[in-house]
Structure 1
Amino acid sequence: MSTQTIFFLGATGYLGSEFLILLNRRIPELHVVALLRSPTPERQSRLKEIYPNISFVEGALEDDAIIQREVAKANIVINCASSDHLASVKSTLAGLETNSQNNPGKPPLYIHVSGCGIISDNARGEPVEHVKEWSDIGLDLKQCDQTNTHLDSDIPIVEAGSRKENPVRTIIVYPAQIYGVGEGVQKTTLWLRIFLDMTKKLGFAGTWGPGANSMNNIHIKDCAMALFMVLDAALQGKAEEGPEGIYFASTMAPKLSYHDWTEIMGNYLHSKGIISQPGTRPMPNEVVEPLGHYGWSLLGGNQFSKPERLARLGWEPVETRKLSLADSFPAALDAALEA
């Protein structure tokens, strides 16, 4: 294990840097090579504090040749960077094929972080009486609404993990609504920062449609642990992979509708004098329509997931039970505002 190398995308991100903190506590002998867009001394130093056994390659997700080269050399590839960056996924899969071809009998491992947007019901924020709850056991991505997010990247990954010639070991992790203040480089979740930016510009918090839609949630530390446990199981040859390598990283904690959590956000920001109106309301067309179906599907749909594969590994949502999504907002908003 000491000779194994992870090529890592998204090392400075919310989940990526939180995962590296955990990896350093559990398997620090793994060498990490991180793709870094701007490898300034400050950024390198921060990541070395988190994970000392790390080196850097300068590049971005658009750098096909760099990604292919590094993937072809690594034992493991982990992508926490972007679930919808198809070009980087294609580069990664090409590098994995070369890797497998050059190392017969030793297929490389690819763990990709996607999102539960694949199971959106596209309710457009409207109330739905009976929302389907999806299990990750027996899930065929081609049974999902093919207009949903992430599938363009995810289906080719599963197909690569299904082939016999130049095989690749593939696993996809699907986080639900991640929340909480992290300990890594990026302290707050992307969706919070997006909604905070919109709220500050509009002067009020809002939703896609009436905001009756909801999804499962998970604390950032539990999500990092889920990703680690999947990696650890794969290293031991105990993980389900390929068509079965689909893991929902979610919990059965109470869901919070978009209306309810944006109302908490709006009231808190109003109490601090940052916006002029409390509460929440549907956002105007000029805000939501530019994102088109992508926005409506991801932010206006229900996404009910049941993490049965993680349960098989003995994973439990320890931090989610300590701090709910609703109670996490003051600290998370303060951290986002400070950043």
Structure 2
Amino acid sequence: MTETLSVFFLGGTGYLGGSILAELTKRHPEIRFVTLVRNPADNAAFQPLGVEVINGTHSDLVLIEKLASEHDVVVNAADAETLALSKAILSGMEQRARERPDAERKPILIHTSGTGILAETVDGVFHSNKIYDDSIVDDIKSIPENAFHRDVDLEIFSAAKNGLVDAYIVAPCMIYGKCRGPLPHPSMQINGMIKMALMHKEVVQLGPATNVWNSLHIDDLCDFYVLLFEHALSGKDRSTDPMERFCWASGEEFAWGDVAKELAKLLHAAGAIKSATPRELTLQDEPNLMLTASNARAVSNRGSCTFGWKIQGPSLWETLPKEVE
């Protein structure tokens, strides 16, 4: 009898992770999903998805290592920054590989990073014409070792090179749109800008806010993960360099100042703020502007070329009125 495929999922209670988990369970009800939940009061929210819940935190490294050793696939959509967490996951997966040398496939890791790894300057100014392409391995190799959470990505690349684990890294850009997960959450950066606007009674931006990022609707991100998940399970991936399994999940470019202008119009029209024009501040004035301070430009060719991903969701500009509501 063929064993049921099992997936250990971290991040199911969050905005990104919850949405991804919901889509995976919808499209693959035949697969067993297990997720880690901090608060037992949230357990019931996962019952409609058919997801098994283990109560614990990301600091429970012994538990996480054990769970990683018990499943065919681990998806980490929870924490891109904590090296100890990734080491525990990889240790458990490597243990599984050693214990099952004749298994049909190696343990598979899908790890969530982010285009924040490209952030070099934090002044709200456009600085670079460089666009990082995930189909060009040298672009991925050129990211500095001291970049934001690069140490975690490098640890995963190293483990994959050792040959016991098949590891994929997805680096999403700025994600917007309604959460699809079992627990409701707003989007991070857009909601953060709205909160700051309500606090200051006007939309604020960092300097001229000419700095550029990419945007992607949450539904398109979920589709990306499902297609990558299916590709990883297919056994058709012939890449030899672990860095060839690094993918940007990115879409349309935008300048943060343009978002600020549109939010100012919408919030002012709704009577929520006093001005229809954004005000320039510094990080000293408003430290939370760090959320929108950098440039991060990336193109997701690997997703479209390798597993047929296509962007289909509404644009950022189409969804801003709903975000304001």
Same fold (TM over 0.5): yes
Q: CA deviation at 1:182?
A: 2.9
Secondary structure (helix, strand or coil) at the match of 1:248 reads: strand
For structure 1, list consecutive stretches of 5 or more residues without a partner in the other structure. 335-339
Q: Tell me, what secondary structure is at the counterpart of 1:145?
A: coil
State which drifts further: 23-32 or 188-197.
188-197
Q: Provide the TM-score with structure 1 as the length reference.
A: 0.86
Give the aligned partner of residue 301 of structure 2. Answer: 308
Measured after TM superposition, the shift of residue 88 of structure 1 is 1.7
| Secondary structure at 1:285 match in 2 | coil
78, 90, 95: which one aligns with 1:93: 90
Determine the structure 2 residue equivalent to 1:337: none
Q: Is structure 2 residue 317 aligned with structure 1 residue 326?
A: yes
**1:153-164 correspondence to structure 2 within 5 Å:** 153-164=152-163
Secondary structure of 1:174's counterpart equals: strand
Cα displacement string for residues 35-61 of structure 1 (whole angstroms, at most 9, x for unaligned residues): 000021xx2232222x22x11111111
Pairwise CA distance, 1:75: 0.8
Deviation, 1:63, is 1.3
Matches within 5 A, 1:71-150: 71-106=68-103, 107-122=106-121, 124-128=123-127, 131-140=129-138, 141-150=140-149
Q: TM-score, normalised by structure 2?
A: 0.89
2:141–2:243: 8 Å Cα contact kept in structure 1? no
SS in 2 for 1:189: coil
In structure 2, give the amino acid aligned to 1:270.
H
Find the aligned partners of 1:82 and 1:190 in 2 and give their Cα distance.
14
State the partner residue of 1:203: 201
SS in structure 1 at match of 2:117:
helix
Match runs of 1:13-92 below 5 Å: 13-40=14-41, 43-49=42-48, 51-52=49-50, 54-92=51-89
The answer (yes or no) to whether the contact 1:162–1:243 under 8 Å persists in 2 is no
Question: Does structure 1 conserve the Cα–Cα contact (< 8 Å) formed by 2:16 and 2:218?
Answer: yes
Q: CA deviation at 1:170?
A: 0.3
Structure 2: where are the runs of 5+ without partners? none
> Counterpart amino acid of 1:57?
I
Deviation digits for residues 65-116 of structure 1, max 9, x if unmatched? Answer: 1111111111110011122233322221222222222222442111011111
Q: CA deviation at 1:209?
A: 2.9
> Within 1, Cα distance between the matches of 2:10 and 2:212?
29
Residues 224 and 61 (structure 1), Cα distance of their counterparts in 2 relative to 1, 3 Å cut: same
Quote how far apart the aligned CAs of 1:290 are.
8.0
Q: How far off its partner does 1:268 sit?
A: 2.0
Q: Cα RMSD between the aligned structures? A: 2.2
- Which residue number corresponds to residue 11 of structure 1? 12
Q: How many residues align?
A: 317
Deviations 1:213-253 (A, max 9, x none): 111211110110001100000111124572211111112x3
Give a deviation string over 1:175-234, Cα, whole Å, max 9, x none.
Answer: 112111233233431222322333322222222332101112111101100011000001
Measure how far apart 1:271 and its partner are: 2.6
Equivalent pair of 1:126/1:209 in contact (CA under 8 Å): yes
Rounded Cα–Cα distance in structure 1 between residues aligned with 2:184 and 2:113 = 18
Cα deviation, residue 287, structure 1: 4.7
Out of 317, 320, 331, the position equivalent to 2:311 is: 317
| 2:271 aligned residue | 273
Q: In structure 2, how many angstroms separate the alpha carbons of the residues matched to 1:217 and 1:290? A: 19
% identical aligned pairs: 27
Query: SS of 1:35's equivalent?
Result: strand
Q: What is the SS of the residue equivalent to 2:90?
A: helix
Displacement of 1:25 in angstroms is 2.8
Which residue matches 2:244?
244
Compared with structure 1, are the counterparts of its residues 156 and 237 closer, same or farther at alpha carbon in structure 2 (3 Å cutoff)?
same
Describe the SS at the equivalent of 1:46: helix
CA distance change for structure 1 residues 88 and 287 in 2, over 3 Å: closer, same or farther? Answer: farther
Displaced runs of 4+ in structure 1, greater than 4 A? 287-291
- 1:125 touches 1:212 (CA, 8 Å); kept in 2? yes
